[in-house]
Structure 1
Amino acid sequence: MDKKEFTEIVMPLKDRLYRLAKRILVSADEAEDAVQEIIFKLWKGRQNLEKYRSTEAFAITMTKNYCLDRLKSKQASNLKIVHSNYPTSQNIEREVEANEGVALVFKIMETLPEQQKIVLQLRDVEQLEFSEIAIILDSNETAIRVALSRARKTIRETMIKKYDYGIR
């Protein structure tokens, strides 16, 4: 695979890899570093990329594994929690309520098991198909659907407990 082919195949994935890395690592700086490292590794192994069924699935799997390894490493204690990437609205009341809701969802997501957190990110944020997620996580579609359902249920129940607006 030459430089042009690599650029056409891998570089469009950069944003998707970043969002996944940010979801796992939380810190924007750590996520950028992770994506840079993954792209470098893909570049070094570009001659072997053609043997994989899906370069995208391979890159996402590499990113997931790299980020989980980073969390397990000694440097994990240095990761920063930063959630300031949300646009502001003109109505202060709505903005505060929205930020509180988003912050609560992120807080709840951080308490989910890693598998559920990753499935939620890949399906609801990245909008990947269940078959793609199954390949990335080396699992079956049924297990992916169950993990997603449990993650959504946990978030929904926690939000209902918090706001208890009679939504049942």
Structure 2
Amino acid sequence: MVQQEFENIAADLRQRIIAVARAYRLDADSAEDVAQDAMLKLWTIREKLNGTKAATALAVTIARHLSVDMLRKTRPVGLDKATPADSRFRQPDAMLESSENERWLDVQLELLPTKEYAVLHLRQVEHKSAGEIAAIVGISVASVPTLLARARRRLLEEMKRRG
């Protein structure tokens, strides 16, 4: 396919690529990123394409793969950012149990040694790296995973005791 042929079908290909990306529930900006990457890949191999049908099929395949890659790269929402279920639709006993569990967990977290709590909080809530945690808490980088594992183990043991 020569440059002129590619330029003639480029707008249609871009729209198809965006439609595929949106079908994977990507937001508009991410869909545009997928379209940009896919069009760049198609442009680099335009001489090898045999007509509009082949270009369209390849564009859809590239868009699908890039969309899946982009979804894999997105980080899941942490518990601190998750929105709780609407309390109007929860049963009173479930609400009571949930509030008791939260209070119990708060007490258990307060009982952790200061450094273990700090490491656990920085890692789980603030999503800091081991190097950042070490700098903030004032410990070695090698101590961070040890303290984190120790804090998690203490909480797990307490959960098992609680039943």
| Class of the TM-score when normalised by the shorter of the 2 chains | 0.3 to 0.5
Q: Which has the higher contact order (CA 8 A, sep 6+)?
A: 1
- Length-normalised TM-score, structure 1: 0.43
Which of the two has higher C-alpha Rg? 2
- Length-normalised TM-score, structure 2: 0.44
